[in-house]
Amino acid sequence: MNFSFVAGSIVLWVFVVFQGLLTLYLLRQLASLHDLIRMGGITAKLPLGSGAPEFTGIDKRSGRKVSLQSLDGQGGLILFVSPECPVCVGLIEGIQQLGAKTFPHIVAFCPGGEQACAKFATQLNSDAELLLEGVEEAATRYRVTSYPTAVVIDEQRKIRGYSHPANARELETLIAQSLRENRGATPEPRSAVALVGPTVSQ
């Protein structure tokens, strides 16, 4: 009787230890997967041709309401950048150097609040729109896993390009190719940038 009880206890403890080790292994696998996604190893981007998620915000400088409707009839670019991302800093500087006429309507999201995004705001053209709220929600809706992230939108609010440009020239190429391939032409350039911000940076 005592032998059966001891044997049963040993089996039970072995089972508990096995479950614990299995749980630990799965947690480590999930952590590795999460790190891989953050580093861009897995692209969880929105499918091309799908509808762009809605967003709304208030331009910090003008007080105007900014939303996905701002791209109606012309298309444009939704850009996620972080002041803590060196690539993003170079990207914004490149956009400034190439000039507003090089790019279509841009809505950029920047995390960190007004002080953190102040440099980006001064580098962007004077009619840029600056959004400082709704950052995490927008980043989640657009599946932003790293900075910078650029999403090209057509005039019907459809996603036509999704990438992580390393510089302004690469961003310019992304816009031209995405809109040319899906519409047969590039929209007439116009720049109005809005800064808001996501979650992760490279």
State the pLDDT at residue 10: 79
pLDDT for 142: 94
Name the average pLDDT for the chain: 78
d(CA 138, CA 82): 14
Instruction: Extract the runs of DSSP E, i.e. beta strands, from the chain.
Output: 56-58, 65-67, 76-80, 106-109, 149-153, 159-163
Rounded to whole angstroms, the Cα distance separating 26 from 32 reads: 10
pLDDT digits (tens, 9 = 90+) for 130-148: 777 887 899 899 999 899 9
CA contacts within 13 A on the Cβ side of 100: 12
Assess whether pLDDT exceeds 50 at residue 166.
Answer: yes
Beta-carbon contacts of 71 under 8 Å, excluding residues fewer than 6 positions away, are 52, 105, 107, 153, 155, 157
Residue 23 has pLDDT above 80, yes or no: no
Edge-first strand listing for the sheet containing 149-153 = 106-109, 76-80, 149-153, 159-163
The percentage of residues in the chain with a pLDDT greater than 70, rounded to a whole number, is 71
* Per-residue confidence band for 66, with pLDDT thresholds at 50, 70 and 90: confident
Which CATH number is 56-183 given? 3.40.30.10
**Which residues are registered as beta bridge partners of 40?**
none
User: How far is Cα 78 from Cα 112, in angstroms, rounded to an integer?
Assistant: 18
Give pTM, 2 decimals: 0.69
